[in-house]
Structure 1
């Protein structure tokens, strides 16, 4: 079955052919499109089905494209363009102290004005070496120092190798369109074994009042897909940077963040400081709701069946579109559906 994007591409291609021929496609007005469920109630303003029985929808008219929004979570027509919604922003991660006993060596930090790590790709004879980053240390340290950092470290981090899972509510810092950086700051002192920290199972989510949970950040690399209710967004990724000494965070994409300081007191000849950053990211982000393409320019009108997986009330919406090189016409038809 073709996706909504593929359908749009086919429609545009058909419109372009029409434009070249200077003859508009002979399409009926989209207003002639109609939908009726096979189990309409007496007033014909809704339909009801028993759980396990598919809803069947019959069409009239012949639009170029029809997209179906079931009304389930993640598939509501009214949220098809929504990218932001107020909710509770939660950062959840598991941490373990695998070596060392130095106090206060790990902090979770947040900034709304950090300008990021300054880096560039290595260029050899005019060719970019894609996987080699060159840091501008002075500029990056200046950005870290100039930023306003808020310490949001939870009160009970791990005290040994027994992992602890912490949840931090970041809702106070969430505002639509206002992006933040989240960082783990590591510090270590000279003279004793320096700590080793392991961070795993990290998710940053926007939790809405209707029970939907949108993952908006994790340990995935930059631009690795994150799927929410069938819709796709992308991880903001992580970047590590040592400020003092050479000890730095090791980022294993999708798995962990690990930092190891001096393994012996003899090796701990100087202090260490290193940061790893995720961002920038809008804490109010959500993934737009998705529809299912049920008809395109290459297919004929046919009954459409859909099996709802749970008891409930749903607003099924069909969005129909006609498009030529000269006009575009879109309409929707809504049928309330009850699954008993």
Structure 2
């Protein structure tokens, strides 16, 4: 019985080893299959446009639904309507020269000190300085303040309409920054607060701020606003980000430590001494946005209208604004190692 049991153990051990070898062999074969290139099938695809009754046409009105009819069955189709933000030719565009425009609103409260808010622009500010301390990124306030002091700041306060008091926000008007565009460098935009000792110091609220790149074709791209650098916004439905804001003051010029308070997406607010007794010293504080590329635009994007698992013979679309549009369809077949693609364009005239 002992011998019989021993033989069974040996046979069991051999079966286990044989099973292991089979599993390893199967895995090796699977890996070989995964690494093997699969030939991609060439794309066969075309597009025509028609009215709802089936009549072929490239002329429609804003009341019509354009029926794009397809031949072929590619794995993927992406549609660019040709409207702003959906132009195939601009899918990789990240910059374009236009007219950079700044606008914002202000409310002035408290006190009667004059000239306490300045609007400044610099193209040589070295930015907010940081240090890494024990693996943690920390702002270097002293170096940042030194960078502010060393930079060349152009005062453009006179270009803006500022609040003179009250509770209603006053629009600055559109401020043209084209003269800074000509320098060919990113810029920083700053609000500088200054207050004197001895009397009630002003409170300023800044809101509704944006910097836009307005192009010759009438399109306008927001390139900076009151959003934090991690808070997205959109241009024509396409997501982008701005540079965000930094606030700072030099204690040597602001003993009472009055600082700008920044609220993401909403406002910049600074409140100085609210009584003459509290105004024991002057105050200076900065709120700075940048760097800003005044030529920045958001790349256009198409809409994925077909995935590999679907079959699509047509696609309806309505244009709401009259004009001429290049409707573009990018079709592709894809494998793990190759892509075959084709682009088809239909030029449409849309009447009111």
Q: Are 1:175 and 1:283, in contact at CA under 8 Å, matched by a contact in 2?
A: no
Q: Is it true that 1:147 corresponds to 2:159 in the alignment?
A: no
Q: Is it true that 1:157 corresponds to 2:162 in the alignment?
A: yes
| Partner of residue 193, structure 2 | 186
Distance between the aligned counterparts of 1:288 and 1:52, measured in 2?
Answer: 29
Q: Is it true that 1:96 corresponds to 2:103 in the alignment?
A: no
Indicate the structure with greater strand content: 1
Q: Are 1:216 and 1:226, in contact at CA under 8 Å, matched by a contact in 2?
A: no
Q: Is it true that 1:227 corresponds to 2:234 in the alignment?
A: yes
| Partner of residue 172, structure 1 | 179
Unaligned runs of 5+ residues in structure 2 are: 1-30
| Partner of residue 298, structure 2 | 287
Distance between the aligned counterparts of 1:117 and 1:261, measured in 2?
Answer: 24
Q: CA deviation at 1:257?
A: 0.7
Q: Are 2:211 and 2:224, in contact at CA under 8 Å, matched by a contact in 1?
A: yes
Q: Are 1:90 and 1:207, in contact at CA under 8 Å, matched by a contact in 2?
A: yes
| Partner of residue 140, structure 2 | 136
Q: Is it true that 1:24 corresponds to 2:29 in the alignment?
A: no
Unaligned runs of 5+ residues in structure 1 are: 1-16
User: TM-score with structure 1 length normalisation?
Assistant: 0.84
Q: Which has the larger Rg?
A: 2
Alignment of 1:32-71 (within 5 A): 32-39=44-51, 47-71=58-82
Q: CA deviation at 1:275?
A: 0.2
Distance between the aligned counterparts of 2:182 and 2:115, measured in 1?
Answer: 30
| Partner of residue 7, structure 1 | none
After superposition, the Cα gap between the structure-2 partners of 1:87 and 1:265, relative to the gap in structure 1 and judged at 3 Å, is same
Q: Are 1:118 and 1:137, in contact at CA under 8 Å, matched by a contact in 2?
A: yes
After superposition, the Cα gap between the structure-2 partners of 1:50 and 1:90, relative to the gap in structure 1 and judged at 3 Å, is closer
Q: CA deviation at 1:318?
A: 0.7
| Partner of residue 4, structure 1 | none
Q: CA deviation at 1:206?
A: 0.8
Distance between the aligned counterparts of 2:196 and 2:124, measured in 1?
Answer: 28
Of residues 270, 284, 302, the one that matches 2:313 is 302
Q: CA deviation at 1:265?
A: 1.7
Distance between the aligned counterparts of 1:121 and 1:276, measured in 2?
Answer: 23
Distance between the aligned counterparts of 1:190 and 1:292, measured in 2?
Answer: 59
Of residues 273, 279, 287, the one that matches 1:262 is 273
Q: Are 1:176 and 1:282, in contact at CA under 8 Å, matched by a contact in 2?
A: no
Q: Are 1:80 and 1:290, in contact at CA under 8 Å, matched by a contact in 2?
A: yes
User: TM-score with structure 2 length normalisation?
Assistant: 0.81
Indicate the structure with greater helix content: 2
Distance between the aligned counterparts of 1:277 and 1:19, measured in 2?
Answer: 56
**For 1:9-52, what per-residue CA distance to the aligned partner results, in whole angstroms no more than 9, with x for missing partners?**
xxxxxxxx99715151451x22x321112259xxx8x6122332
Q: CA deviation at 1:236?
A: 1.7
Q: Give SS of 1:216's match.
A: strand
Q: Are 2:40 and 2:334, in contact at CA under 8 Å, matched by a contact in 1?
A: no
Q: CA deviation at 1:324?
A: 2.8
